[in-house]
Amino acid sequence: MADDQPQATSGGMIRLPATRPLMGDAALLQSSPYFDVLWYLDQFPDAVDCGLSPAEHYLWVGAIMGRDPSPYFCGQFYLDQNPEVAAARMNPLVHFLRHGHAEGRHAHPEDVAPPAPQNRPAHDVLGPAPWGDALRNSPLQTALQEVDPAEFPSPEALALANAILSGSDQSPTVSVVLPIHGRGFFRALDSALGQSVEPSEIILIYSAGQDETLTQVRRTYTEAISSGVLRILPNTGSGYAQACNTGLEAARGDLVAYLDGDCHWRQDYLKLMTAWFAQNDDLSTGYAGWRRGMIPPGKAQVWGTSYDRAALLQEQTIDLSTYMHRRSVSDQLGGFDEDLGTCSAWDMILRHTAVYAPGYLGFVGADVVRDLAETGAEDARITTQARHRQDRWRYGQEAPRIAYVLWDWPALSQSFVMAELEWLVSRGFDVEVFFKIAPDRAAEVPFDIQQHQVETPEALAKLLIQRDRTLVHCHFAYPAMTLLAWPACQLAAVPFTFFGHAVDIFLHNNIAVNRIAEIMNDPLCLKLFVHGDYHRKHLEAQGIPVEKLAYAFQSANLDLFRGIPDKPAPAKGTVARGVFIGRFTEKKGIETLIEAAALLRDEPVAFDVYGYGPLWGIIHDQAKALGVDNITFHGPLDGRYAVRDILRDSDFCIVPSIVADTGDTEGFPTVVMEAMAARRPVVTTAVSAIQDYLIDGVHAHIARPRDPQALSDAVRRMLHQPDVNRRAMLQNGTELLRDHVGTDKTMQTYCDTWYRGMLDIVLVTYNTPEHDDFEQTFDIIRRIRSHTTTPYRLVVIDNGSDQPFREALTQLARQMPNMRLHFLDRNRFVGPATNIALAGSDAVFTIYLCSKEGFVARHGWERPLIDYMRQHHDVAMGGNLCHLPSHTLGEEMAKHPAFPSFRNPEFAKDHPRRPFQHVQGGAFILRRDVVDRETGFSTSLPQASTDVEFSYFLESRGYSLGNIPQVSSLTVKTLPRLNAVLDETTAIAHPVLPSDTFQLDRMQVPTTTRCNLCQGWDCIQDSGRCSQCQSSGMDRKLYQFLAHDWRAHRANKALLVDCVASLVTALGTGMFDVTATSWQDLPQSDSYTLICLGSGPNHDMAKRLIARLAPGGLMVWPEGSGAEPAALVNTAPNLRAGIEQRVSRVLRSDSRRLFWIARSS
């Protein structure tokens, strides 16, 4: 037996000979859960401090000695089960990771699986794998779909390819890129020229020092050169990657294929691949299998399997010689990176397939002979994997190693930082803190975390590298980001995100030095997070790339305050105690509070002021000078428990913030959130992000900043507020916190960026001279690009538009590496085209947007849709629920003209009295895991009724449909129009014309108002009454709620009590047969499908009215009258009850909730 063969010991153990590991093996082990570093070092102490990394020790020493790399992999068992691996002298774990895992081989006799990594987000960031091959299901693919690629394609497959190419009006042309490289160059060239379907051109690229080879080519291939098939070009640079780029830039074919001297094609490779691309206009990238031989000679292997991106991220599982793509792909996404050497092909394939998921054709297209030890230097492999690190994080192949970079740590005033770190640590994330100075007041760190103090960016960069940090997150743009984190990230080449708060971006002196536009334009910058529109508009004026800006609240753990018992309003004549908590600085507005307190001497109110800071003396002197005796000054509070106790004893919280003369102001005051969580009324001012989220009279009492009279008036409104409105305001504050605030929500937003949790945004386009919407489509795309804050792919499926439109889309794609563009050769209509978009993705969610009339309305428009779907796991598709007035009930739906083409028709027949609604098809969000090739949009109803049938089909399969308030999507025929429901919270609107988009933007202006009943702008008075139609905030709220109710437009009767005339007119215009009356003149008979009450009834009156509800009927009224849904729902059979709350600043809607009772059909 040869010395270098595996040998069995007396105990039967197989001993591997000492062999040199391949480049990349150590990195492969380090990224795998099957290699447990801590366990290995604990089991084998000789691996500690031996001069080798643990992975290198296992490769060089441990495996040869029969040691296991973890409790989850048994090397001896693997070699026993797979003797060919032992015979090939391969490391068992390396073989398992590269081949065995994908082939289903067992790693351990007990099948012990490694634990799932904990350092991942709790929500999904990766959706189902692409299923484009299954959707295409072409006969050619069917003929080549064996488990292993066919060594010799069947006569049937070749005949199909011939038929496809001969029957095609214009078969795609193929450019072959062939650098003079490798020992088998002439064989490769001969294989290209000897194809059964000739390429349109073979581009041969030569480099310096290859004159002899070039002379032989010119002498041997004269005919191919003279015919123009063989084009010879000099390399415009040096090296293999540059040679390939030279050929790629010169290519003129529709398709591009690659060869070099380490491989040669089988004779029918181009025939099969070209026919496949010709038959599938949605196929942009594809590959075939190959037979690989190793040097030195070893056992050749047939490689080829369906697309597995996780495997491709680990190693190059698609060989360049059998990879083909449309030339438009490289025009958009680029070619070979010359810095990566032979890994440049792997990198290019990764970039291409990240956008255009490849198809797989199951045959052996090439014979490849490569020296596996030369497949790329280790540093090139590491660099390639680093460039695709976010994808690797998303696919779970490694986890981010996070550095939190802070200027001062641990700062008592930065509780949001502590909350974020505690969240990360508790979930097993690898996170460490790097800081420059100690704070003036330190907080206790309640968890274990590595902490490193640094003096300079250079020292930080060195430490980031030493600590193997792969992601930086930083709080405060200045000084932490500008002076410390950014230069260090540049030196260490580490990507980063950061959070901009207030002083760092608003202070005039900081604006001059924070360099925020430069930082955000750095390719290493993934995202800047800020609170909202106020911050965005301020930063836009400084020239930032707005597409890199996302919204997030600072993290806040409010559980401590939610347990505080509710406190009733002070009894008449009792002093109401308001509390101020904050530092004594100009931006806190304490001077305005003192002046306001002086104006409130006639009210039973007093203020307790807690804090410290540089203005302490000035503020005391001011209070003394004004003779203010209703303010008591206390010292600073020590920690959040002290804040909780003060809020518990207070009657309200006052936060009179201003914009200081220096530009300094608030981000969003944490104490406002804490007071709302404690259910204490808040009086505050319209500064910074406060005005982005809080509505005066709905969430808080809001005054103009720096205006003592306005602040005192706000306090008076709070003191004299009716109890029902007070309770409503406290409830609205609770719901605002639920919807927007919390560490989980903040970290979810971070993780979507860190892990590049892709969202697909789909547009199906069709533009011709007869249907010319060129400007609308590109305006829609412009708004998507500017205002989408979640990582996304823009997927455009073009249904055969005219050439100028396609050329414009092509130019756009070249500016957008995150755009997936498919030109279909004919109009497949919206349903099948959307299926193509769904099939080529790995996203969790897909948002469809009409390419002609669907406009996003505000920055961060997609977040409410994503949040809704994450909160409603039973919902398969969400949007705006609509109904067909003539075909609403199941028995009516069965009579729809298109119903014979509906899937699962028995569902409607089994539910004859059930009302059916559908998600209107102009804009919706879909959970991708509810669809596949068989369950996508109907091909029998590809355009008309597509949305109706698909919604029905989802419900027939047991899924739910979601009504998302922020989606306002109707048909052009739907009445009432969009203006009945639009407000500042609208995220998507459809149908909208470009000339009307200004209305979407206008509603984002904080001072704008609009009446949805009379359509007047800026006509709503401070009292809430519309000056034009006299509607109240409750009237407008009722109309927004009822505008598109499924009971409308069905000749149903409605009873309206105590409603304004404009609401009566609106609901009576074709929607209902309306009877309008007062409480004194209620009709004594008749039943009604809708009973709409402008003011609330008492419990007994509500019971009598419910008795008048027809089957399927709805009664709705404002809260506060004593009639509670929970107490009414059981007073009669077949009743359902609920509460609806939608508040709008633009509509000045009433702060109270709507109560409703519905009777079953």
| Runs of H (alpha helix) within 685-795 | 690-693, 708-719, 723-740, 743-754, 774-787
For 914, the token pair is 């059930």
Q: Where are the beta strands (DSSP E) in 22-127?
A: none
- pLDDT value for 12: 59
Residue ranges for the chain with pLDDT beneath 70: 1-28, 30-31, 102, 115-118, 294-300, 371-377
Smallest Cα–Cα separation from 1059: which of 1038, 1084, 1085? 1038
| pTM for this model (two decimals) | 0.89
967-969 and 988-990 as β-strands: parallel, antiparallel, unpaired? parallel
Q: CB neighbours of 10 closer than 8 A, spacing ≥ 6?
A: none
- Digit-coded pLDDT (tens) for 298-338: 556 888 999 999 999 999 999 999 999 999 999 999 999 99
Across 1108-1145, b (16+ Cβ under 10 Å) vs e yields bbbebbbbbbbbbbebebeebeeeeeebebeeebbbbb
Beta bridge partners of 845: 759, 927
438 shares its domain with 390 = no
190 shares its domain with 339 = yes
**CATH code, domain carrying 654:** 3.40.50.2000
Q: Is residue 143 part of a domain?
A: yes
**Contact by Cβ (8 Å): 275, 164:** yes
DSSP character string of 1045-1075: -TTTTS--EEEEES--HHHHHHHHTTT-EEE
- pLDDT value for 215: 94
Beta bridge partners of 1156: 1116, 1138
Q: Is residue 651 part of a domain?
A: yes
494 shares its domain with 583 = no
Beta bridge partners of 360: 287
Structural domain total, the chain: 6
**Contact by Cβ (8 Å): 165, 199:** no
Q: Is residue 988 part of a domain?
A: no
Q: Is residue 106 part of a domain?
A: no
Inter-CA distances, 408 with 412, 441, 530, 773, 1012, Å: 10, 10, 20, 54, 50
Q: CB neighbours of 1090 closer than 8 A, spacing ≥ 6?
A: 1042, 1045, 1047, 1052, 1053, 1054, 1055, 1067, 1072, 1113, 1114, 1115, 1116
What CA–CA distance (Å, rounded) separates 703 from 685? 5
What CA–CA distance (Å, rounded) separates 794 from 33? 34
- Stated as kind and residue range, the H or E segment containing 819 is strand 819-823
What CA–CA distance (Å, rounded) separates 810 from 883? 38
- pLDDT value for 300: 63
**CATH code, domain carrying 388:** 3.90.550.10
- Digit-coded pLDDT (tens) for 128-146: 999 999 999 889 999 998 8
What CA–CA distance (Å, rounded) separates 672 from 733? 10
875-882 and 918-927 as β-strands: parallel, antiparallel, unpaired? antiparallel
467 shares its domain with 574 = no
What CA–CA distance (Å, rounded) separates 600 from 897? 69
Q: Is residue 894 part of a domain?
A: no
- Digit-coded pLDDT (tens) for 861-898: 999 999 999 999 999 999 999 999 999 999 999 999 99
What CA–CA distance (Å, rounded) separates 613 from 657? 15
| Runs of H (alpha helix) within 82-210 | 83-87, 92-95, 132-136, 139-143, 155-167, 185-193
- Point out the domain boundary residue: 46, 76, 100: 100
- pLDDT value for 11: 52
591 shares its domain with 512 = no
366 shares its domain with 412 = no
Q: How many CB atoms within 10 Å of residue 48?
A: 11
**Structural domain boundaries, residue 1035:** 1011-1159
- Point out the domain boundary residue: 370, 394, 418: 394
296 shares its domain with 243 = yes
1056 shares its domain with 1115 = yes
Inter-CA distances, 392 with 399, 754, 844, Å: 8, 11, 16
Q: How many CB atoms within 10 Å of residue 1107?
A: 11
- pLDDT value for 504: 97
Q: Is residue 895 part of a domain?
A: no
Q: What is the CA radius of gyration of the chain?
A: 34
Q: Is residue 413 part of a domain?
A: yes
680 shares its domain with 571 = yes
819 shares its domain with 961 = yes
- pLDDT value for 2: 43
**Contact by Cβ (8 Å): 1129, 1157:** yes
Beta bridge partners of 701: 683
Average pLDDT, the chain: 93
249 shares its domain with 371 = yes
Q: Is residue 1033 part of a domain?
A: yes
- Point out the domain boundary residue: 683, 706, 740: 740
Q: CB neighbours of 1 closer than 8 A, spacing ≥ 6?
A: 7
1042 shares its domain with 1062 = yes
**CATH code, domain carrying 1090:** 3.40.50
Q: Report the first-to-last Cα separation within the chain, whole angstroms.
A: 85
